[in-house]
Amino acid sequence: MGKTQTPRDFHEEILPEKNWQQEEDEYWQKKINDFLGETEYFGKVADFMIRSVLLEAFSMIGLHFSESGRNGKIEDRKNQIYLNIDYDFKNNDTTMLVSHLFKGTMQYINRHIEDLKTLRSFFNLHGNTHKILGAVASAKMTKRAKEYALEQGLYVVEPSGETFKITSPDGKAKEW
């Protein structure tokens, strides 16, 4: 009697050139890529909306910016200056650097202050005389961390319903 064929033997016999594992891998990779593409698009829309709301909130406290950016990066290898930027807002003479983190801590605030100093160094090296202001945005910030940020001359951005509440620093905002 002849050999009994399994379904796998049958497929390999009829279509021996087909790699079924590769086809399945390609199918799942396409599904993942499609999902990530949709997620990336949603993320871009959300970022645009956040930037727009932040621009409006800053405008309401007298800070008017004409440009905004997200996920900026400075890589000045010659001068060893590297900086990742969450949000930046600019007008003719001022740049506002906004750092965000879900939970705002004193360590996070100090790291942002170092970033502001780094940006000042970079601007100085390239003849940029823009004033630099700083803001920290957090969904969850302790009262002490908020007070500390304000004492350091930073603006504090907090969610407030469908918009943001911006608290101005005590006295005058620090310029870097």
Two tokens, residue 108: 């996070």
Q: Output the tens digit of pLDDT for each of the chain's 176 residues.
A: 555 555 555 555 555 555 566 666 666 666 665 555 544 444 454 455 577 888 889 999 999 999 988 888 999 999 999 998 889 999 999 999 999 887 888 999 999 999 999 999 999 999 999 999 999 998 888 999 999 999 999 999 998 887 888 999 977 899 99
How many other C-beta atoms can be found within 10 angstroms of the C-beta atom of residue 145? 20
Two tokens, residue 129: 């005389």
Give the predicted TM-score (pTM) of the model: 0.72
Task: Please report the pLDDT score of residue 45 as a whole number.
Answer: 43
Residues 107/120, Cβ–Cβ less than 8 Å:
no
Structural domains in the chain, sorted by start: 29-167 (3.40.1350.10)
Task: Please report the pLDDT score of residue 34 as a whole number.
Answer: 59
Task: Please report the pLDDT score of residue 101 as a whole number.
Answer: 80
What distance in Å separates the CA atoms of residue 18 and residue 15, rounded to the nearest whole number?
A: 6
